[in-house]
Structure 1
Amino acid sequence: MRWNTWIRQIHRWLAIIFTVTVVVTFVALAQEEPVVWVSYAPLPPLVLLMFTGLYLFVLPYAARWRGGRAVARGR
C-alpha cells in the first residue's frame, strides 16, 4: 500500500475516534458531577486529524508542483 493510502486510512480512523471521544465527553459532562478533565479527551485525535488533513489538502498541489503527475489532473 502506498504512503498516501496509509495517511487516508489513518485520517478516517482518527475521524471515527474523534467522534467517539466527543460523544463520550458529552455524556460525561452531562452527569450530576461532571469530570472536567474528560473534556480534553478529543484534543489528541483532533490534533492528529489536523496534521493528516493538512497533508491530504496539500497533496494535489504538491503533485502539481513536482511535475503534474496524473493524480493532480483528476486521475
Structure 2
Amino acid sequence: MNGNRWVRQLHRWLAVVFTITVVATTVALAQRDPILWVSYLPLFPLALLFFTGLYLFALPYLAKRRT
C-alpha cells in the first residue's frame, strides 16, 4: 500500500509540473519571436502523467482480480 501512496503523490506533483510547463510554454510562444522548442517541454511530464494515471486507473481492477 505504501507504493500506491508514492505513485499518487508523484502523480499529483507531476500535474503541478505539467501545469507550470504549459503556462510557461504559452507565455514563451506568445512573444514576438517565439522559441519553438519550448513547445516540447510539457511532453515529458505529460508522458509520466499518462503512465502513472494508467497505473492508478488499473489499481481497483487489479485489486478485484486478486480477491
Calculate the TM-score normalised by the size of structure 2: 0.98
Calculate the TM-score normalised by the size of structure 1: 0.88
Unaligned 5+ residue runs, structure 1? Answer: 68-75
Flag as ranges the 4+ runs of structure 1 deviating above 4 A: none
Larger Rg: 1
How many residues are paired up? Answer: 67
Unaligned 5+ residue runs, structure 2? Answer: none
Q: Deviations over 1:19-74 (max 9, x none)?
A: 0000000000000000000000000000000000000000000000011xxxxxxx
The higher-RCO structure (CA 8 Å, 6+ apart) is 2
Aligned CA RMSD, in angstroms, stands at 0.9
What's the % identity of the aligned pairs?
66
What amino acid sits opposite 2:47 in the alignment? V
